[in-house]
Amino acid sequence: MNNHLKELRAERQLTQAQLAEQLGVSRQTVVAIEKGKYDPSLPLAFRIARVFGLPIEQIFMED
Amino acid sequence: MNNHLKELRAERQLTQAQLAEQLGVSRQTVVAIEKGKYDPSLPLAFRIARVFGLPIEQIFMED
DNA sequence: ACACGATGTAAAGCACACTTTACAAAGATT
DNA sequence: AATCTTTGTAAAGTGTGCTTTACATCGTGT
Protein backbone atom coordinates (compact mmCIF):
# COMPACT_ATOMS: atom_id res chain seq x y z
CA MET A 1 0.00 0.00 0.00
CA ASN A 2 1.05 3.52 -0.83
CA ASN A 3 -0.07 6.72 0.87
CA HIS A 4 -0.03 10.49 0.65
CA LEU A 5 0.47 11.09 4.32
CA LYS A 6 3.66 13.07 4.05
CA GLU A 7 2.26 15.41 1.40
CA LEU A 8 -1.00 15.93 3.28
CA ARG A 9 0.87 16.66 6.48
CA ALA A 10 3.11 19.13 4.65
CA GLU A 11 0.08 20.91 3.15
CA ARG A 12 -1.37 21.41 6.60
CA GLN A 13 2.06 22.39 7.96
CA LEU A 14 1.96 19.83 10.72
CA THR A 15 5.04 18.27 12.26
CA GLN A 16 5.17 14.51 12.73
CA ALA A 17 4.83 15.07 16.46
CA GLN A 18 1.73 17.25 16.07
CA LEU A 19 0.05 14.79 13.74
CA ALA A 20 0.92 11.90 16.05
CA GLU A 21 -0.67 13.72 18.93
CA GLN A 22 -3.87 14.45 16.97
CA LEU A 23 -4.03 10.79 16.01
CA GLY A 24 -3.31 9.49 19.47
CA VAL A 25 -0.25 7.48 18.38
CA SER A 26 3.49 7.81 18.86
CA ARG A 27 5.64 9.82 16.47
CA GLN A 28 7.37 6.59 15.46
CA THR A 29 4.07 5.29 14.14
CA VAL A 30 3.67 8.35 11.92
CA VAL A 31 7.25 7.99 10.70
CA ALA A 32 6.81 4.30 9.91
CA ILE A 33 3.58 4.85 7.98
CA GLU A 34 4.96 7.80 6.03
CA LYS A 35 8.04 5.78 5.12
CA GLY A 36 5.85 2.86 4.05
CA LYS A 37 7.39 0.61 6.66
CA TYR A 38 3.94 -0.75 7.44
CA ASP A 39 0.28 0.09 6.97
CA PRO A 40 -1.88 1.56 9.72
CA SER A 41 -4.54 -0.55 11.35
CA LEU A 42 -8.06 0.11 10.05
CA PRO A 43 -9.10 2.15 13.12
CA LEU A 44 -6.01 4.32 12.75
CA ALA A 45 -6.70 4.72 9.02
CA PHE A 46 -10.14 6.04 9.97
CA ARG A 47 -8.65 8.56 12.39
CA ILE A 48 -6.15 9.69 9.76
CA ALA A 49 -8.97 10.13 7.25
CA ARG A 50 -10.94 12.14 9.78
CA VAL A 51 -8.00 14.42 10.57
CA PHE A 52 -7.54 15.24 6.90
CA GLY A 53 -11.24 15.29 6.04
CA LEU A 54 -10.79 12.82 3.20
CA PRO A 55 -12.04 9.32 2.42
CA ILE A 56 -9.57 6.58 3.23
CA GLU A 57 -9.26 5.72 -0.46
CA GLN A 58 -7.91 9.21 -1.21
CA ILE A 59 -5.12 8.86 1.33
CA PHE A 60 -4.16 5.20 0.97
CA MET A 61 -4.00 3.23 -2.25
CA GLU A 62 -3.00 -0.22 -3.37
CA ASP A 63 0.11 0.44 -5.46
CA MET B 1 -15.18 -0.89 14.86
CA ASN B 2 -18.44 -2.24 13.54
CA ASN B 3 -19.12 -3.69 10.11
CA HIS B 4 -21.83 -4.86 7.74
CA LEU B 5 -19.92 -7.80 6.39
CA LYS B 6 -22.41 -10.48 7.32
CA GLU B 7 -25.35 -8.61 5.78
CA LEU B 8 -23.44 -7.80 2.60
CA ARG B 9 -22.31 -11.39 2.24
CA ALA B 10 -25.90 -12.57 2.75
CA GLU B 11 -27.20 -10.15 0.10
CA ARG B 12 -24.75 -11.59 -2.43
CA GLN B 13 -25.55 -15.14 -1.28
CA LEU B 14 -21.94 -15.96 -0.61
CA THR B 15 -20.80 -18.53 1.93
CA GLN B 16 -18.00 -17.63 4.31
CA ALA B 17 -15.76 -20.02 2.42
CA GLN B 18 -16.53 -18.41 -0.94
CA LEU B 19 -15.93 -14.92 0.37
CA ALA B 20 -12.70 -16.01 2.05
CA GLU B 21 -11.49 -17.44 -1.23
CA GLN B 22 -12.32 -14.25 -3.15
CA LEU B 23 -10.46 -12.26 -0.54
CA GLY B 24 -7.47 -14.56 -0.40
CA VAL B 25 -7.79 -15.23 3.33
CA SER B 26 -8.84 -18.19 5.44
CA ARG B 27 -12.46 -18.76 6.40
CA GLN B 28 -11.49 -18.18 10.03
CA THR B 29 -10.48 -14.65 9.16
CA VAL B 30 -13.91 -13.97 7.66
CA VAL B 31 -15.59 -15.49 10.71
CA ALA B 32 -13.51 -13.42 13.11
CA ILE B 33 -14.19 -10.16 11.29
CA GLU B 34 -17.91 -10.84 10.95
CA LYS B 35 -18.09 -11.65 14.65
CA GLY B 36 -16.18 -8.46 15.48
CA LYS B 37 -13.38 -10.43 17.07
CA TYR B 38 -10.90 -8.13 15.39
CA ASP B 39 -10.65 -5.63 12.54
CA PRO B 40 -9.14 -6.47 9.18
CA SER B 41 -5.81 -5.01 8.17
CA LEU B 42 -6.05 -2.00 5.85
CA PRO B 43 -5.06 -3.99 2.74
CA LEU B 44 -7.71 -6.59 3.53
CA ALA B 45 -10.28 -3.83 4.12
CA PHE B 46 -9.48 -2.57 0.61
CA ARG B 47 -10.00 -6.02 -0.88
CA ILE B 48 -13.30 -6.39 0.97
CA ALA B 49 -14.42 -2.99 -0.31
CA ARG B 50 -13.47 -4.00 -3.84
CA VAL B 51 -15.37 -7.29 -3.66
CA PHE B 52 -18.54 -5.48 -2.60
CA GLY B 53 -18.01 -2.43 -4.80
CA LEU B 54 -18.39 -0.06 -1.88
CA PRO B 55 -16.19 2.52 -0.17
CA ILE B 56 -14.55 1.26 3.02
CA GLU B 57 -16.54 3.73 5.08
CA GLN B 58 -19.81 2.12 3.97
CA ILE B 59 -18.72 -1.32 5.17
CA PHE B 60 -16.77 -0.47 8.32
CA MET B 61 -17.63 2.21 10.84
CA GLU B 62 -16.38 3.44 14.17
CA ASP B 63 -19.16 2.50 16.56
C1' DA C 1 30.66 26.94 16.54
C1' DC C 2 26.65 25.91 19.16
C1' DA C 3 21.94 25.03 20.11
C1' DC C 4 17.37 23.74 18.74
C1' DG C 5 13.53 21.80 16.19
C1' DA C 6 12.27 18.39 12.93
C1' DT C 7 13.19 14.10 10.88
C1' DG C 8 15.30 9.41 10.52
C1' DT C 9 16.90 4.91 12.35
C1' DA C 10 17.20 0.96 15.53
C1' DA C 11 15.90 -2.45 18.88
C1' DA C 12 13.14 -4.80 22.37
C1' DG C 13 8.52 -5.78 23.91
C1' DC C 14 3.37 -6.35 23.74
C1' DA C 15 -0.99 -6.98 21.44
C1' DC C 16 -3.45 -8.09 17.49
C1' DA C 17 -4.19 -9.90 12.46
C1' DC C 18 -4.07 -14.13 10.19
C1' DT C 19 -2.96 -19.11 9.56
C1' DT C 20 -3.81 -24.13 10.13
C1' DT C 21 -6.09 -27.84 12.23
C1' DA C 22 -9.76 -29.81 14.44
C1' DC C 23 -14.18 -30.44 16.21
C1' DA C 24 -19.11 -29.10 17.48
C1' DA C 25 -23.68 -27.31 16.30
C1' DA C 26 -27.26 -26.14 13.14
C1' DG C 27 -29.86 -26.38 8.73
C1' DA C 28 -31.10 -28.33 4.69
C1' DT C 29 -31.62 -32.63 1.65
C1' DT C 30 -32.60 -37.22 0.70
C1' DA D 1 -32.63 -41.01 10.69
C1' DA D 2 -28.52 -40.26 8.13
C1' DT D 3 -25.75 -37.24 5.39
C1' DC D 4 -23.94 -32.76 3.71
C1' DT D 5 -23.19 -27.95 3.85
C1' DT D 6 -22.65 -23.99 6.46
C1' DT D 7 -21.48 -21.78 10.47
C1' DG D 8 -19.31 -21.39 15.11
C1' DT D 9 -15.53 -22.19 18.49
C1' DA D 10 -10.89 -23.18 20.18
C1' DA D 11 -5.93 -23.34 20.44
C1' DA D 12 -1.16 -22.89 19.00
C1' DG D 13 1.98 -20.59 15.90
C1' DT D 14 3.81 -16.63 12.87
C1' DG D 15 4.15 -11.99 11.45
C1' DT D 16 2.96 -7.15 11.78
C1' DG D 17 1.16 -2.73 14.12
C1' DC D 18 2.36 0.10 17.76
C1' DT D 19 4.95 1.42 21.97
C1' DT D 20 9.02 3.23 24.46
C1' DT D 21 13.67 4.59 24.61
C1' DA D 22 17.63 6.19 22.65
C1' DC D 23 20.66 8.14 19.45
C1' DA D 24 22.01 10.17 14.75
C1' DT D 25 21.31 13.61 11.13
C1' DC D 26 19.89 17.69 8.95
C1' DG D 27 18.47 22.62 8.63
C1' DT D 28 17.90 27.01 10.65
C1' DG D 29 18.96 30.63 13.69
C1' DT D 30 21.92 32.95 17.12
A8-40 pLDDT per residue, tens: 999 999 999 999 999 999 999 999 999 999 999
Domain interval for residue B46: 2-52
Of A residues 43-62, those with CB within 7 angstroms of nucleic strand C are none
**Are B48 and B59 in contact, with CB atoms under 8 Å apart?**
yes
In this complex, do A1 and B56 lie within 8 Å of one another by their Cβ atoms? no
CATH code, B35: 1.10.260.40
Q: What is the pLDDT of residues B22-42, one digit of tens each?
A: 999 999 999 999 999 999 999
DSSP string, A34-61: HTTSSPPBHHHHHHHHHHHTS-GGGTEE
What is the structure's pLDDT at B63? 76
A60 inside domain:
no
Beta bridge partners of B60: B3
For B10 and D28, how far is CA from C1' in angstroms? 60
User: Beta carbon of A39 within 7 Å of strand C?
Assistant: no
B12 inside domain:
yes
User: Å from A42 to nearest chain B CA?
Assistant: 5
B21 inside domain:
yes
Helices (H), ranges, chain B: 5-11, 16-23, 27-34, 42-52
Q: Is A10 exposed, middle or buried (0-12, 13-18, 19+ CB in 10 A)?
A: exposed
- The number of folded domains in chain B is 1
> CB-CB: which of B1, B39, B57 is closest to A56?
B57
B61 inside domain:
no
B42 inside domain:
yes
B60 inside domain:
no
